[in-house]
Amino acid sequence: MSENVDQTDCPPFDDISAYLDGESSADTSSHVESCDACQRLLQSLRAVGGAVAKASQPPADLAQRILAACQEDSGEREPVPFWGRPLLRYAAALVLTAALALAVRTAIGRSGTDDGPGGITVADGQAGNVQYPNGSRQPGGAAGNGEDLVKVTASKKAGTGSLGATTGTRVLAGGIKHVWSVPAIDGVAPVLESQLGRADWTVAHQEQRRMTVRVTVTDERLQKLVQSMYDTGWKLFSDDLPQPNEAAKVKFSGRRVLYQADFVAETTPR
């Protein structure tokens, strides 16, 4: 590119642009610094660069959000402890069952054929695998005393341990977009007003049959908002979290997220 300025001895435009970046030759530099036309051109180029740079400033809390995302990611990828690995869990269950069966046999052997109370106390959820002293699969009576007593404690229900707390839940990322079908566009604002503070949402676009709203709230608040919109009877046409009735799938971090909802009226006006 050689088009340029109003003086024929001025350097090509590429060189003047490079001067702005400190990448020009000494000859170009000495000319530009003493040339009014080049200086005017530089001024306009600086204005362009300044406008672009200023407009692309990141949000103030960007670093915190990044660190939270990294922390979350590393938490999800932490190695599962050996007792949490599926195969080992099955193996452990088998060993426990075998040990339990052996213990039951031993207990039966010791207590003979008595139908009395000497027996086994089995916690809820374990009875199905246990042969009771009375020969049935039903508890034979009150818990017995000391020596002959085998106690089985209830195991944790699946999904409630530490593993379940980290798998299956996700942190909401920013920039979630949902499409909602609503009976009428006029009914959207009143519902949002009842759920959000005025500073939390803006109408980005509105027409007779559609409306785009941007919301900035904490992830937990957003889950509640989605739930209440769903409870209002609106239909959600997006699979991304947060979803109504699925709060358990979201790991709430308390950070604010951007949410865009596009509302479309259900019926076409005649």
Q: Tell me the C-alpha distance between 104 and 148, whole Å.
A: 9
Q: Tell me the C-alpha distance between 11 and 79, whole Å.
A: 61
Contacts of 163 (CB under 8 A, 6+ apart): 80, 81, 84
Residue type, 241: L
Q: Which element (helix H / strand E) includes 229?
A: helix 219-231
Out of 7, 36, 59, 156, the residue judged to bind other proteins by CB under 8 A: 59
Is 47 or 123 the residue whose CB approaches other proteins more closely?
47
Out of 6, 8, 9, 57, the residue judged to bind other proteins by CB under 8 A: 57
Angle between helices 219-231 and 188-195 (to 10 degrees): 140
Note whether 210 binds other proteins by CB under 8 A: yes
Out of 131, 166, 169, 212, the residue judged to bind other proteins by CB under 8 A: 212
Out of 34, 74, 145, 153, the residue judged to bind other proteins by CB under 8 A: 74
Note whether 135 binds other proteins by CB under 8 A: no
Q: Are strands 235-236 and 176-182 parallel, antiparallel or unpaired?
A: antiparallel
User: Measured from the CB of residue 12, what is the shortest distance to other proteins in angstroms?
Assistant: 8
Note whether 1 binds other proteins by CB under 8 A: yes
Q: Give the x-and-dash track for 152-191 against other proteins (CB under 8 A).
A: ---------------------xxx-x-x-x----------
Q: Tell me the C-alpha distance between 119 and 137, whole Å.
A: 12
Supply φ then ψ for residue 112, to 5 degrees.
65, -140
Number of residues near other proteins (by CB under 8 A): 55
Q: Which element (helix H / strand E) includes 262?
A: strand 256-265
User: Measured from the CB of residue 171, what is the shortest distance to other proteins in angstroms?
Assistant: 10
Q: Tell me the C-alpha distance between 222 and 199, whole Å.
A: 14
Site for other proteins, rule CB under 8 A: 1, 3, 13-14, 16-18, 21-23, 44-45, 47-49, 51-59, 62-63, 65-67, 69-70, 73-74, 77, 173-175, 177, 179, 181, 202, 204-205, 207, 210, 212, 214, 235, 237, 258, 260, 262, 264, 266-267
